Structure 1
Amino acid sequence: MTFQQPHSDTSTSPSMKIYDWYNGPYPARVRIALAEKGLLSQVEFVPVNLWEGKHKQPAFLALNYSGTLPVLALHDGTLIAECTAITQYLDALDGQPTLTGKTPTEQGLIHMMTRRAEIELMDAISVYFHHATPGLGPEVELYQNAEWGGRMRDKAVRGMHYFDKLLATQPYVAGNAFSMADIALLGGLIFAALVSLPIPDECVALHAWHARMNERPSVQAWRAMVAQGQPNS
């Protein structure tokens, strides 16, 4: 299949197009951010079947060299990949920076904790998934190192313990307000559930935080989209 670049006619179409897959853990981060900001209605979602490896095929690689989801496409042809970058764009779009911080200190802390959530949990689980499980199948997983994957699984569990200690002292990942960092950690736990890697029972604060996050309307909106499903691309 081919993927079309966005065009400039905005008279009848949403203002943004996002290439993603409805139940992917990384796309979940952007969909939750969109829901938080009330922007879901402004987006056309273009399905790229993650589990069939369509994001690694030439048609999609022409849009995103990295072969990762999601990708935000604007009507002027601009393409923005990476969850953090897309969330930054969304925050600046309506002049209400609620997810990436208002003050320099808030912005610095949120970016720091977002990156920690990625390194310690989400990316570690991704390596575990791609190396120590069947992953996306032989057409995508051309090289696997099960030992390395196992080490990254252990790193992810250590990351859960780190965030448990952090959340025992503050209500949100970057301090006193919900932010992009919370969405990143939630994305990691969504990925953990997909690979059957549970939060350890002793991580009481992390469990409590996770329960609170699942009650947010934005997360419920994402879960509703997953339940509704999406046709294969």
Structure 2
Amino acid sequence: MKLYSAPGPNSYRVRIFMAEKGIELPIVPIDFGTREHKSPEFLKLNSLGQVPVLELDDGDVVTESVAICRFLEALHPTPSLFGADAKSQGKVEMWNRRMEQEVFATMGNVVLHTDEFFKERQTQVPAFAEAQRQAIPVKWAWLDREMSDGRPYLAGDEFSMADISGMVTLWIAEVFDFEVPATLSHVQRWSKSLHERPSWNA
């Protein structure tokens, strides 16, 4: 197997997952600058022209970062990052979706509607971007209230896929200067613990 990867949160999410699992795969770097992801050769792998892409030994492919992680989890079930039983699996899925939809997507909308890289991908609406930018502190405040019970990780006592999505969200926040309010002690505690994991540098 080999992983087609490029700079960005979705590729980063898979690389963090692999690092947490101790999985090593050949990495094929894709150059956004030359639009390699839109080349005829790459579009044969993923018609959407997006990374990451996991190419299997039989030539088949799995795309979408969480789908790739689920595939790898099935091959390497320990340590479990999607939950070890029904309750934990439900909690991990719940918090992974919440992190993606409530926090990551809010930041992502600002980037999608302001960054030059995405100008040809969609019609950018600056007013929507500004509204989403103003919502970012509100989203972090919501998460801080949710974590005020003192749990160490999003889905409970164990690090999970939800926290990996949190890591790429925090990374996006740093790259694009979306401040995580210093007054949010529970989010700051959680963020510090994630930054200290070796996989942060994956």
**What corresponds to 1:25 in structure 2?**
9
Alignment partners' CA distance in 2, 1:76 and 1:88: 18
Q: CA deviation at 1:133?
A: 3.2
What amino acid is the match of 1:121? V
Alignment partners' CA distance in 1, 2:96 and 2:76: 21
Paired residues for 1:1-233 under 5 Å: 16-21=1-6, 23-40=7-24, 43-50=25-32, 53-96=35-78, 98-134=80-116, 136=117, 138=119, 140-169=120-149, 170-220=151-201, 222=202
- The answer (yes or no) to whether the contact 1:121–1:160 under 8 Å persists in 2 is yes
- The answer (yes or no) to whether the contact 1:122–1:156 under 8 Å persists in 2 is no
Shift in alpha-carbon separation, 1:62–1:111, aligned structure 2, 3 A: same
- The answer (yes or no) to whether the contact 2:167–2:200 under 8 Å persists in 1 is no
Alignment partners' CA distance in 2, 1:57 and 1:94: 32
What amino acid is the match of 1:46? V
Q: CA deviation at 1:65?
A: 2.5
- The answer (yes or no) to whether the contact 1:72–1:81 under 8 Å persists in 2 is yes
**TM-score normalised over the length of structure 2:** 0.90
How many residues were matched structurally? 201
Secondary structure of residue in 1 paired with 2:3: strand
Alignment partners' CA distance in 2, 1:158 and 1:50: 32
Shift in alpha-carbon separation, 1:38–1:115, aligned structure 2, 3 A: same
Unmatched segments (≥5 aa) in structure 1: 1-15, 223-233
Q: CA deviation at 1:144?
A: 0.9
Structure with higher helix content: 2
- The answer (yes or no) to whether the contact 2:110–2:129 under 8 Å persists in 1 is yes
CA RMSD of aligned residues (A): 1.9
Alignment partners' CA distance in 1, 2:10 and 2:45: 17
Alignment partners' CA distance in 2, 1:217 and 1:190: 14
Alignment partners' CA distance in 2, 1:120 and 1:184: 12
Shift in alpha-carbon separation, 1:129–1:54, aligned structure 2, 3 A: farther
Q: CA deviation at 1:51?
A: 5.3
